[in-house]
Structure formats: structure tokens, C-alpha cells
């Protein structure tokens, strides 16, 4: 008699996590070129880096004809209080994805502590990705201090509310899956209670990082709760992925079989050499020289931020190799291509990218602190005069019997109250953080 394994329905535009070896979400190490390289070398799915919901809200979705990517951007003030003083300011890319090369194999991971803002952000990217994953495992202060990441493990009701809201308001309308990534708790009983609650929210997948919140990557993963988590997920039909100290596709397959999971994530090992996703039968681990050259080419194809590219190369090039030292002294893609001796084809591409990013020989002169301060002062004076002029016109209308608007009425507020409620105040414009 055949036993049917329970499975939650996989949405039409979603993806089943079962049987997959995937790239874990990593800050800095999970940007677009890193994901594309992982897929090239055999990753079945890729998670983007945790991106805070408030960082994405208010961005503009743009199709980049040059890179073939979809960019979610916002204007950057570059330290200026008033961005309008610099009409040539660049837009900051908050999130970038490549629809053709990763689209329906990409999971967007969201950092959130609020169902409403989670939905606002998730709706922006839902049509471009295969799923939305809630980060409930990051132990870093930038996440936990805002009630996000691993802090959600201490507020399971809030976490469940976020997931249920995402399922009904984003997952179902867009026909994609909603999932969550957690860490194990201090006891198996606590973890089991949490997992059962999460699986009842309508999610299609759950990833368990086999470390507690205080543990760091250098500490060995604890897998004694993994079989239990996998069993609970199996009972409810939710796919279960494991994470923690997985170093190759072969090891992932063995661990999946040993602990009864549906799939596995690879993190740190992929940061050093993404070819670890490639099976031995398909060629196995590639030499770092091959991987680095492919990474540089991919980074230039999508015009990746120079700082991020250089950071990743610092992880991929062996520290004792002379190429590492040469790389550390570079300040642009042109410098890099010359230092690594990649030839004229690469150099021609590097010049184009440097010009687009305005780095190296194409870097524009930056305003000094004194110049920026003076520009801000001039802009403020201009704004004050414009406001005063507009206010005078409105007050004249009011005297003629026209009702004042709320904006004009606000001019009568005491200066301290008006300042606290102004558009640049914390209540009026929450700060954002992209990671």
C-alpha cells in the first residue's frame, strides 16, 4: 500500500522547495552577481539578501535596458539634507534582480516587524520573484534592534500574524509562496511549538538554521532538533530546508537523507566558491581563478556596485595569493581587470561600467563638507522664500472667504510643533535601512 505524503499546494507562480540545494540569504554576499553565479554552477534556487521592508517602500521599479535587470531605486541625498540642490544626483539601487537569468528561481527575503509594512514592500516585488521569505533568524543588531530577524522568535504571535497577512494579501493574489527562516530555540519542545504555529499560517516552506540566536558561524551547527522539525513540517505538508555547516551538494544530499529534510541551504561555503553547488559528476569544485574571472564578468554585466564586488573578491581570492594583494589596491573595474590581467575584451567592458558607475577615472568631484553646508543653506533659504510666498497667497484667499488648507493651517503652529511634524521628522518619514 502506497503512503501519500501530504503537501501544501504550490502556487502557480511559485516554486516547490523539495529536492533543492539553494543559496542562503546573505548580506553583501547575496547580491545579483553572486546569485547568478550560484545558479550558473548548479544552485536550484537562490535567496536574495535580507532587505528591510521600509527600505523598499517608496522605491521606483525600473527596467534597466543596459543590464537586463529590474532595479528598485530611490534618490540618494549623498549626505545632503536637501537632495534638490544636486540635480545630477544618482539613484541608489535598493534591490536588483535579473528576470531572465534568475527570475522564477529567486526568493526575496524580507526583514520586517510589521504585517502592514511587510505587505507594502512585498507587493512591490511579488510579480518578479518566485516567493517571499520572512527573516526570523538574523541575530545581528541592525535587525533585532528593530524587532526583526531573530527577535521575532520571542514574539511568535507577531511572526504568525506577519506570515498570515503575507499569505492572504500577497501570496494568494500573486500566486506565489510565502516562507519563513528561523533558528532553533533552547529546547526541542519550544522549537516544536513554534514550528507547528508557523506551519499553520499557510506558508509553503520553512528553513531551520541549526543554531540558536546567540550562536555564531564559527560554532558548529546543532542538528539534534532537525529530525523533529522535518517531521512536523511533513505532517503539515510544508517543505523543510536545513541550514548550517553545509559545504557541498554531495553533503547536502546526504544530510537531507539522514535527517528527513526536503532540501538544504548553503551559505559560507558558497561565499568563498559558488561552484560548490556543482555535483562531482558535472565537474565538481572549480579552481578559484575560473570562479573569480566568471564573477568579475557577471558583476560587470549587471553593473554591480564596486564596493560590493571588491568585498566578494576578498572572500574568493586566497589571501596568500599575489592576486589578492593586487586586488586590494584597485579602485575601479578597469584597475581590477588590469591587475588580474584579463585582457582587452574585459578592459573594454570595464571602461563602460566604470563610466556608468562614475568610478575610477570617471569619478566626479565630490562636494566638500563646507560646500555641502553652504548649498544646503542656500536651498533652505530658497525653500523658506517659496513657502512664505505661497502662504501669503493662501492667506489672501482666506481673507476673501476661501477656506484654508491643512497645509496652510499648519503654518500657524508654534515653530517647535511644526518642526516635530515636518516631512523630515521621524514620525513623518521613517528611516530606512537596506542590507
- Max Cα separation, the chain? 87
Residue 261 among the catalytic residues: no
Residue 417 cell numbers, joined: 510643533
Q: Taking the mean position of all CA atoms in its chain, how far away is CA 101?
A: 17
Burial category of 132 from C-beta neighbours within 10 Å (exposed 0-12, middle 13-18, buried 19 and up)? buried
Residue 385, SS3? helix
Residue 94, SS3? strand
Please choose, from the candidates 171, 160, 164, 166, the residue with its C-alpha nearest in 3D space to the C-alpha of residue 129: 171
Residue 289 cell numbers, joined: 581563478
Using the structure block, give the residue that is written with the C-alpha cell 484654508: 404
DSSP string, 295-348: HHHHHHHTT--HHHHHHHHHHHS-TTSHHHHHHHT--SHHHHHHHTT--HHHHH
Catalytic-role residue among 32, 138, 233, 240: 138
Q: Taking the mean position of all CA atoms in its chain, how far away is CA 283?
A: 30
Residue 430 cell numbers, joined: 521613517
Interatomic CA distance for residues 302 and 159, integer angstroms: 34
Please choose, from the candidates 36, 106, 32, 44, the residue with its C-alpha nearest in 3D space to the C-alpha of residue 263: 44
**Helices in 14-167 by DSSP H: which ranges?**
32-40, 53-56, 115-125, 141-144, 156-166
Residues annotated as part of the active site: 138
Amino acid at each position: 500500500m502506497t503512503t501519500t505524503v501530504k503537501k501544501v499546494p504550490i502556487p502557480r507562480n511559485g516554486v516547490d522547495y523539495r529536492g533543492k540545494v539553494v543559496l542562503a540569504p546573505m548580506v553583501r554576499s547575496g547580491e545579483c552577481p553572486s546569485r547568478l553565479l550560484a545558479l550558473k554552477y548548479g544552485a536550484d534556487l537562490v535567496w536574495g539578501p535580507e532587505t528591510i521592508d521600509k527600505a523598499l517602500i517608496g522605491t521606483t521599479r525600473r527596467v534597466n535596458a543596459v543590464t537586463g535587470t529590474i532595479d528598485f531605486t530611490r534618490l540618494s541625498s549623498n549626505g545632503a539634507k536637501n537632495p534638490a540642490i544636486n540635480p545630477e544626483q544618482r539613484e541608489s539601487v535598493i534591490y536588483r534582480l535579473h528576470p531572465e537569468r534568475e527570475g522564477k528561481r529567486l526568493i526575496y527575503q524580507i526583514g520586517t516587524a510589521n504585517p502592514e509594512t511587510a505587505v507594502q514592500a512585498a507587493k512591490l516585488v511579488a510579480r518578479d520573484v518566485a516567493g517571499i521569505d520572512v527573516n526570523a533568524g538574523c541575530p545581528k543588531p541592525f535587525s533585532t534592534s528593530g524587532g526583526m530577524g531573530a527577535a521575532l522568535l520571542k514574539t511568535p504571535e507577531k511572526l504568525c500574524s506577519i506570515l498570515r497577512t503575507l499569505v492572504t494579501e500577497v501570496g494568494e493574489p500573486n500566486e506565489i509562496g510565502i516562507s519563513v527562516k528561523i533558528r532553533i530555540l533552547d529546547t526541542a519542545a519550544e522549537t516544536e511549538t513554534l514550528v507547528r504555529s508557523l506551519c499553520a499560517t499557510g506558508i509553503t516552506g520553512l528553513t531551520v538554521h541549526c543554531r540558536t540566536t546567540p550562536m555564531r558561524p564559527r560554532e558548529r551547527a546543532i542538528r539534534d532538533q532537525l529530525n523533529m522539525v522535518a517531521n512536523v513540517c511533513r505532517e503539515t505538508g510544508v517543505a523543510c530546508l536545513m541550514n548550517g555547516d553545509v559545504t557541498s551538494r554531495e553533503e547536502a544530499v546526504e544530510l537531507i537523507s539522514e535527517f528527513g529534510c526536503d532540501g538544504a541551504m548553503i551559505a559560507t561555503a558558497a561565499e568563498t566558491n559558488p561552484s560548490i553547488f556543482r555535483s562531482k559528476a558535472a565537474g565538481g569544485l572549480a579552481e578559484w581563478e575560473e570562479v573569480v574571472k566568471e564573477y568579475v564578468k557577471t558583476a560587470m554585466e549587471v553593473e554591480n556596485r564596486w564596493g560590493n564586488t571588491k568585498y566578494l573578491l576578498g572572500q574568493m581570492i586566497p589571501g596568500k595569493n599575489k592576486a589578492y594583494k593586487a586586488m586590494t589596491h584597485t579602485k575601479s573595474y578597469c584597475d581590477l581587470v588590469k591587475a588580474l590581467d584579463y585582457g582587452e575584451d574585459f578592459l573594454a567592458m570595464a571602461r563602460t561600467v566604470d563610466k556608468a558607475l562614475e568610478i575610477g577615472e570617471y569619478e566626479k568631484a565630490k562636494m566638500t563638507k563646507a560646500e555641502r553646508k553652504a548649498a544646503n543653506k542656500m536651498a533652505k533659504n530658497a525653500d523658506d522664500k517659496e513657502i512664505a510666498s505661497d502662504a501669503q497667497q493662501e492667506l489672501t484667499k482666506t481673507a476673501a472667504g476661501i477656506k484654508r488648507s491643512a497645509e496652510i493651517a499648519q503654518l500657524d503652529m508654534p515653530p517647535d510643533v511644526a518642526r516635530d511634524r515636518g516631512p523630515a521628522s521621524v514620525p513623518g518619514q521613517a528611516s530606512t535601512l537596506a542590507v
